[in-house]
Amino acid sequence: MRMNESNSPEHGHAHKHSKRNTTVGWSLAGILLGVITGAVGTVLHLNSYWTGSFGLPWGVVLALVIAWLAQRWIALRSVSIVATGLTGIAQYLTLAAMVGLSTGNHFSVPLNEQTWEFVPHLVIATLAWNIAIVAVTLLSMLQLARTIRRTKAQLAADQTHLTPAFSAWDKQ
């Protein structure tokens, strides 16, 4: 929008920001945050505590919390389901790229009988990380939709208190 006499800030007119530009900016921020948190989660998800007879996969829990917090932050800051979904997609694509492009099994374990027998907690962590990113993304999008719906309902309820209803007394 070009600045001219009628919309210049000197006369008290505020520049109107495009909602589309804001959505694109938050979508790019979501993709960047998704790549970062997807890489961190992929590195963390195989960490476990070995008790002697079985392993406790704490890394996958931490990785999923990080993924959810990133998506929730983008959702609350942008109020955009698109940006939230793109964050989750970027996390999943980062996981796929890191596993697919790495030589060896640094970021995942093979899903075969031998790994199920000797390190089942790592197999469970790998499966949980691969599947739960999608679930966390859907959960974050549903949470945002619910937050938007509640906020709209609350604003509508607040508006009824601001505009008084007409009564018989007002008509006199």
Q: Which residue stretches of the chain have pLDDT < 70?
A: 1-21, 104-106, 160-172
Whats the size of the chain, residue-wise? 172
Contact 78, 26 (CB under 8 A): yes
Residue 117 lies in a domain: yes
Whole-number pLDDT of residue 6: 56
3-state class (DSSP) for residue 100: helix
Determine, yes or no, domain membership for 1: no
pTM of this prediction? 0.76
Domains identified in the chain, total number: 1
Q: What is the pLDDT of residue 121?
A: 86
Strand partners, 55: 50
SS3 category, 13: coil
Provide the pLDDT for residue 170.
57
pLDDT for the residue 9: 55
Domain that holds residue 61: 26-150
